[in-house]
Amino acid sequence: MSMDQALPELDPVIHAQARLRVVATLNVLADGDEMAFNSLKDLLGMTAGNLSVHLTKLEEAGYVAITKTHRGRTPVTFARLTKRGRLAFEDYTKAIRTLLDNAGGS
């Protein structure tokens, strides 16, 4: 990368390790599919409180949609990646690739 080319910006909402793991996991789902909060929590090995904080941050950015419903009398929360979230993740991965491709070395 030449001196006059700017390094790509990394989305600070996604760049946090826990949020990156959440977005990467939800990105694997088909467009419009969602994952139950407890399944996501268990898969990522996160506490409920930690996952909740990160999902709220992603929801505020418009990257994740949260749906609260019931199965019988039991409340269930689902998370899915929005179109905006998918685009943000795609941009993020492109930026990371550009940084790595231009990092030098062998």
pLDDT, tens digit, 9 for 90 and up, residues 29-60? 999 999 999 999 999 999 999 999 999 999 99
Q: Where are the domains of the chain?
A: 17-97
| Overall average pLDDT of the 19-27 stretch | 98
Q: Which residue has the tokens 């199965």?
A: 71
Q: Which CATH number fits domain 17-97: 2.60.40.1840, 3.30.420.40, 1.10.10.60, 1.10.10.10?
A: 1.10.10.10
Residue 49 contacts residue 55 (beta carbons within 8 Å): no
**Cα 73 from Cα 53, distance rounded (Å):** 25
User: How much is the pLDDT for 103?
Assistant: 78
Is pTM, for the whole model, over 0.85? Answer: yes
